Amino acid sequence: MKAPVMRPKTHQTLKPPSWLCMALEGRAVFEWGSYLAAWPLLKNAARGDGHPVLVLPGLGAGDRSTYPIRRYLDRLGYATYKWDQGLNFGPREHVIKGLVEKVRQMQFEHDQKISIVGWSLGGAMANALALRMPERIRSVVTLGSPLTGHPKGTNAWRIFELVSGFRHDDPRLMELVAGQPSVPTTSIMSKTDGIVNWRMSLAPDHHMAENIEVSATHLGMGANAAVLWAMADRLAQKEGEWKPFNKKATAFHSLLFRDPHTFRLADLIAP
């Protein structure tokens, strides 16, 4: 019997993750704790080709939060870069200018396109950069990022308004992420994300975009072994030869990686 397909809700009906999903964010402690334990396995992931990768943190977080990601990608052979703008308080004008200059500088120094990995809000900002600078960006990987939908579909929208200076319904925010991908884009997301409604993390239906569902918390994605493995696989593809992630390549893949449009028990607790 074929599993039923989940249809994304429109942005008008999106709600923040449930209180149960929020409570399950406590699992992040174990994800961070298992980072070193999973290291011997993670070292066997696809190796990089040395191209530059910019890593962007989530709302209210800074470069310290992305250290595990950057350390891992360094070990796989990439030239990783911090975002170097302190804590992420949203797409303020000086932040956007700084990111644009950072992308240009990295491409100039390495004489090749760069990839961007963005966690949560950082992923939405990575997506916005790719939409406006496709000639400089090779690929984008987002982790639990609010890519579409109404901003009130997160449990952090009040904090976002407080620190960013934007209202949740500011049309400028929608303009930043509006458009079809012109570079390979991978959204890694979890239906039990306690901060961002998983439907907001769905990449657009496009031949250069894909969604990979994992079992993870929002706060632990940057140290989750399945997330890091999938991220390494995506970044390792040769430029111009992008193919969708094979979730059924091995029994290992089938167990850890899923199609978010397929119904499972996690849908019962997700809004």
Task: Give the tens place of pLDDT for each residue, 180-190.
Answer: 888 999 999 99
Taking the domains of the chain in order of start, what are their residue ranges?
Answer: 11-268
- 230's tokens: 């999938």
Q: What per-residue confidence (pLDDT) applies to 88?
A: 96
Amino acid 80 reads T
Q: Please compute the mean of the pLDDT values over residues 150-177 and round it to a whole number.
A: 83
The pLDDT tens digits for 188-198 are 999 999 999 99
pLDDT at residue 258, as a whole number: 85
Asked whether the predicted pLDDT for residue 139 surpasses 90, the reply is: yes
Contact 219, 25 (CB under 8 A): yes
Q: Half-sphere exposure (CA, 13 Å, Cβ side) for 171?
A: 0
- pLDDT above 70: residue 8: no
For 11-268, CATH gives: 3.40.50.1820
Say which range, 3-7, 156-160, 167-171, 209-213, has the weakest mean pLDDT.
3-7
12 CB burial (10 A radius; 0-12, 13-18, 19+): exposed
CA distance 65 to 219: 10
Cβ–Cβ under 8 Å, residues 120 and 195: yes
Residue 149 has what pLDDT?
A: 66
Reported confidence tier of residue 271, pLDDT bands at 50, 70, 90: low
Q: How many whole angstroms separate alpha carbon 109 and alpha carbon 115? A: 14
Pair 176, 96: CB distance under 8 Å:
no
CB 12 within 8 A of CB 169: no
SS3 21: helix
Exposed / middle / buried, residue 261 (Cβ in 10 Å: 0-12, 13-18, 19+)? middle
Tally Cβ neighbours within 10 Å of residue 143. Answer: 32
pLDDT in tens, 151-163: 688 999 889 888 8
- How far is the C-alpha of 200 from the C-alpha of 160, rounded, in Å? 16
